[in-house]
């Protein structure tokens, strides 16, 4: 993974499928022209405007998890062209993503702008998990949460290995709702979605059999 001057080696699986599909030359052109080992200026500005991202992790055995993170624009801080970080707050207590990162530091991020640029950005690298106090001691410029009394418990640091475009094809343009329609950081079970998919009810039914 990664490479000098944007030239990515590609995994063995990628190479095999490229050969089978006859796309080796097209893939090489993409690696050469679009894949960077750090974020360039345009990518830094793009990340600074985003209010959401998708995070992919896997445990030591390769079992995968994909999750969603969101916050005010700039909730992902670019600390350097080769490093970014985001805050982790109190959640459901499962710790799936950070737990995976403790076992396997490899992480894949996908930022998608559905509203303005209608484009995406992949950022792949390796991560560390750092307590909030330690993170702020080393990086006092990190933003402070505007919600009274709410502070991150920890931060995820990503050291960039490759960054590249996710093309606009098939990305829908969406309409933003006002801030009043959202509930950043709420602990209200109903506003968080409650048992929307009926999993708890299903489990109770199974136990009762």
pLDDT in tens, 72-107: 999 999 999 999 999 999 888 999 999 999 999 999
In the chain, the percentage of residues whose pLDDT exceeds 70 is 85
Residue 4 has pLDDT above 60, yes or no: no
User: For residue 46, which of 139, 160, 158, 163 has the smallest C-alpha distance?
Assistant: 163
Pair type for strands 154-166 and 77-80: unpaired
Q: How far apart are CA 157 and CA 137, in angstroms?
A: 14
Express each pLDDT in 124-173 by its tens digit: 999 999 999 999 999 999 988 877 778 899 999 999 999 999 999 999 99
Phi, psi dihedrals of residue 161, rounded to the nearest 5° = -115, -30
The predicted pLDDT at position 102 comes to: 97
Q: For the chain, how big is the Rg over CA atoms in Å?
A: 19
DSSP classification of residue 69:
E
With tokens 């992480």, the residue in question is 107
Q: How far apart are CA 175 and CA 37, in angstroms?
A: 33
The predicted pLDDT at position 62 comes to: 96
The predicted pLDDT at position 39 comes to: 98
Q: How far apart are CA 159 and CA 127, in angstroms?
A: 6
The domain locations on the chain are 1-35, 36-207
Q: 36-207: what CATH class? A: mainly beta
């Amino acid at each position: 993974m990664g490479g000098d001057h944007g030239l990515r080696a590609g995994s063995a699986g990628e190479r095999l499928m490229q050969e089978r599909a006859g796309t080796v030359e097209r893939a090489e052109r993409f690696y050469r022209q679009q894949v960077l080992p750090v974020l360039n200026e345009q990518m830094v500005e793009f990340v600074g405007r985003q209010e959401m991202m998708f995070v992919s992790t896997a445990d030591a055995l390769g079992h995968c998890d994909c999750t969603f993170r969101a916050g005010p624009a700039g909730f992902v801080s670019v600390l350097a062209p080769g490093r970014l970080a985001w805050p982790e707050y109190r959640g459901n207590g499962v710790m799936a993503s950070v737990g995976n990162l403790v076992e396997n530091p490899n992480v894949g991020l996908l930022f998608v702008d559905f509203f303005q640029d209608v484009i995406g950005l992949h950022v792949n690298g390796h991560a560390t998990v750092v307590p909030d106090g330690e993170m702020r001691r080393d990086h006092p410029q990190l933003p402070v949460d505007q919600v009274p009394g709410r502070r991150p418990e920890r931060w995820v640091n990503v050291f960039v290995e490759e960054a590249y475009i996710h093309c606009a094809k098939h990305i829908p343009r969406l309409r933003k709702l006002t801030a009043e329609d959202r509930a950043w950081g709420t602990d209200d079970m109903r506003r968080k979605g409650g048992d929307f998919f009926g999993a708890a009810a299903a489990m109770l039914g199974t136990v009762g059999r």
